[in-house]
């Protein structure tokens, strides 16, 4: 199996920082805020691999750094340290060494992102179909009929009624917005999908539909995915392997069933026990 | 294809659970040795709590072993210690060589039964139609009424779920099949179907390690027996052990 992504020692600090930030934060100190300078160590020394067609779960309580990790990979945040190498069709990209234009090009060609907050993922001032069209245009699909056809089929696939394609997403329910985001993320059939709490806050039947869709995509297109969630049920259904974060650090990684049934770390044990 | 060299050799497998919150260490399996052979079934017996499921889950790597070796010989003849094999390697083996059927069915809420069953074949790259044909064949063999094939097993009875689970576990014909009380809630007629199927699979070379509730299943299916000693129940606080 091919390695699609390899992340080494990714760190992200918010704030001016000092020399003690990393030494005085983390699970052992039960905080991600540096007591010396008040900076937030949102992620520190996060490392993992992702193979082709694999779904990696990232779980952990609120504020543990899950979104920060995927935002760094999607170039929404500039990491404080670390390396990430993305491989696609024989080409290799050292993500954080690319310049902004190269990053934008790579993301629009190879990455799909579904944000926790639909406001970040969708332009609320243009129609649902327009959001998808915008994504396709960035990836240089520019024939109007093609775009229209593709947008319709994507929205059908995510079970957004295509007759609502010309409406503004601001008028949609949360579940609908999330599905438009997914349709948009899938528009270019990206080899890497980043999904941040895709099912959180949605009612159960919509959740089920989205989970089905995600697995279908993974099976049909061998898309590699990172699924961020604090829902252990979602992790169990989707992820092959799982990474557990706390206060910006990875406390444990393993096969998902092992993490859930035989957690090695006290924190993971508590997390799993409280979800039962 | 029957051969005398084992495809799985478990040596001195030991598993303790360290529960930090309770400050406890729970002994679960102690120094287990066993072999599984091509085309034969090894039955694992012992009292409740003796650690039978723990052995199976250790081999599947749902549990991380505390000590011991779990030596699996793959289809290329290479020996792999499942106790410490790379996670991606274990995932690949689960997809292609090692199957696990438990009492409980886990599946997506909206998937039709025939798709749930066909899944392992599709994962291996088998054509969708062929996989579905095979799934229907197995569901027929398991006597699951055809009207249930198109709906999700989420609302099925215990026995129905278990038949779906077995069909899914057997469909891809793993080289090594782990069975944890797969017939616990089946009526005698269906259990008989399962025995026939397992016998056929053995003849085709599948090696099995099984925990059966009913002694007659052990009698009819097992070539080898491994009995685990009764549990010692000596949970000790973690501090005492460190
Ligand atoms: N732009 C920012 N500026 C300052 N601090 C931030 C910023 N973004 C995130 N943080 C802080 O970084 C830490 C990690 O945040 P992050 O959003 O990655 O957490 P999360 O694991 O995704 O949590 P949740 O489950 O609540 O979504 C938090 O303490 C958060 O307050
Ligand atoms: N995930 C776990 N966490 C903590 N303890 C566990 C876990 N799994 C098993 N144990 C403990 O290990 C011991 C052996 O359990 P196991 O399930 O392997 O027994 P068994 O022989 O399969 O019993 P049964 O016949 O009742 O199914 C028991 O004391 C059990 O409580
Ligand atoms: Mg988040
Ligand atoms: Mg058991
Ligand atoms: Zn500091």
Q: What's this model's pTM, rounded to 2 decimal places? A: 0.93
**pLDDT above 50: residue A188:** yes
**pLDDT above 60: residue A177:** yes
Rounded distance between C-alpha atoms, residue A109 and residue A244, angstroms = 29
Angle at B25 between CA B20 and CA B30, to 5 degrees: 145
Out of A16, A17, A42, mutate this one to test ligand 1's pocket (max ligand atoms within 8 Å of CB): namely A42
Count of other CB atoms within 10 angstroms of residue B72: 23
**Contact: B57, A255; criterion CB under 8 Å:** no
Interface confidence (ipTM) of the complex: 0.91
User: A3-274 in CATH: which number?
Assistant: 3.40.50.300
Give A235's contacts in chain B (Cβ within 8 Å): none
**Contact: A208, B108; criterion CB under 8 Å:** yes
Segment A173-198 shows an average pLDDT of 91
User: What ligand is nearest to the CA atom of residue B49?
Assistant: 2
- Domain ranges within chain B, ordered by starting residue: 1-97+176-182+206-242
* Backbone torsions φ then ψ of B129, nearest 5 degrees: -65, -45
Chain segment B106-164, per-residue pLDDT in tens: 766 678 999 999 989 988 889 989 999 999 999 998 889 999 999 989 888 888 888 89
Confidence (pLDDT) at B203: 95
Nearest protein CA to atom 8 of ligand 2, as residue: B54
**pLDDT above 60: residue A9:** yes
Segment A182-210 shows an average pLDDT of 88
Segment A235-246 shows an average pLDDT of 96
Confidence (pLDDT) at B1: 47
- Domain ranges within chain A, ordered by starting residue: 3-274
Confidence (pLDDT) at B236: 59
Q: Tell me whether residue B57 is exposed, middle or buried, using C-beta atoms within 10 angstroms of its C-beta: 0 to 12, 13 to 18, 19 or more.
A: buried
Beta-carbon neighbours within 5 Å of ion ligand 5? A 18, 20-21, 34, 36-37, 39
**Contact: A1, B88; criterion CB under 8 Å:** yes
Chain segment A91-129, per-residue pLDDT in tens: 999 999 999 999 999 999 999 999 988 999 999 999 999
User: What ligand is nearest to the CA atom of residue A61?
Assistant: 1
Q: Tell me whether residue A3 is exposed, middle or buried, using C-beta atoms within 10 angstroms of its C-beta: 0 to 12, 13 to 18, 19 or more.
A: middle
Which stretch of DSSP H or E encloses residue A260?
helix A256-261
Rounded distance between C-alpha atoms, residue B9 and residue A271, angstroms = 35
**pLDDT above 80: residue A160:** no
Give A51's contacts in chain B (Cβ within 8 Å): 88
The low-confidence residues of chain B, meaning pLDDT below 50, are 1-2, 242
Mean pLDDT in chain A? 92
Domain at B1-97+176-182+206-242, CATH class: alpha beta
Report which of residues A162 and B83 the model is more confident about: B83
């Amino acid at each position: 199996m091919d390695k699609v992504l390899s992340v080494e020692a990714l760190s992200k600090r918010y704030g001016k920082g000092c020399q003690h930030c990393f030494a005085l934060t983390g699970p052992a100190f039960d905080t991600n805020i540096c007591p010396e300078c008040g900076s937030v160590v949102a992620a520190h020394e996060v490392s993992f691999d992702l193979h082709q067609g694999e779904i990696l779960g990232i779980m952990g309580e609120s504020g543990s750094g899950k979104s920060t990790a995927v935002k760094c990979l999607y170039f929404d945040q500039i990491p404080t340290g670390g390396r990430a190498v993305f491989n696609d069709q024989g080409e290799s990209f050292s993500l954080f060494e690319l310049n902004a234009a190269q990053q934008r090009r790579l993301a629009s060609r190879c990455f799909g992102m579904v944000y926790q907050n639909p406001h970040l993922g969708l332009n609320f001032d243009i129609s649902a179909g327009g959001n998808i069209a915008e994504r396709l245009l960035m990836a240089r699909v520019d024939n109007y009929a093609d775009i229209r056809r593709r947008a319709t089929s994507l929205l059908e696939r995510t079970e957004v009624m295509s007759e609502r394609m010309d409406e503004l997403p601001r008028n949609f329910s949360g579940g609908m917005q999330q599905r438009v985001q997914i349709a948009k993320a899938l528009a270019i059939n990206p080899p890497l999908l980043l999904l941040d709490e895709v099912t959180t806050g949605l009612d159960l039947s919509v959740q089920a539909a989205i989970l089905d869709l995600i697995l279908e995509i993974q099976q049909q297109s061998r898309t590699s995915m990172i699924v961020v969630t604090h829902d252990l049920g979602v992790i169990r259904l989707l992820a092959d392997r799982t990474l557990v974060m706390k206060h910006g650090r990875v406390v444990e990684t393993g096969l998902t069933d092992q993490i859930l049934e035989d957690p090695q770390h006290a924190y993971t044990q508590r997390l799993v026990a409280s979800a039962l | 294809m029957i051969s005398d060299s084992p495809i799985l050799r478990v040596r001195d497998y030991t598993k303790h659970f360290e529960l930090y919150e309770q400050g406890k260490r729970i002994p679960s399996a102690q120094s287990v040795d066993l072999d599984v052979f091509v085309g034969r079934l090894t039955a694992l017996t012992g009292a409740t709590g003796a650690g039978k499921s723990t052995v199976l889950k250790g081999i599947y790597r749902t549990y991380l072993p505390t000590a011991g070796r779990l030596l699996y010989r793959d289809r290329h003849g290479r020996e792999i210690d499942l106790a410490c094999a790379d996670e991606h390697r274990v995932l690949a083996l689960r997809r292609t060589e090692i199957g696990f059927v438990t009492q409980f069915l886990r599946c997506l809420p909206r998937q039709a039964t025939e798709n749930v069953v066909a899944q392992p074949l599709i994962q291996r790259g088998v054509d969708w139609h062929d996989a579905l044909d095979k799934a229907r064949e197995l569901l027929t063999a398991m006597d699951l009424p055809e009207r249930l094939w198109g709906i999700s097993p989420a609302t099925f009875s215990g026995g129905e779920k278990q038949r779906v689970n077995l069909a899914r576990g057997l469909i891809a014909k793993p080289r090594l099949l782990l069975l944890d009380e797969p017939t616990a809630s089946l009526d005698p007629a269906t259990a008989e179907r399962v025995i026939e199927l397992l016998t056929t699979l053995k003849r085709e070379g599948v090696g099995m390690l099984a925990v059966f509730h009913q002694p007659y299943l052990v009698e009819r299916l097992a070539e080898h027996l491994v009995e685990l000693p009764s549990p010692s129940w000596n949970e000790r606080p973690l501090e005492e052990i460190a």
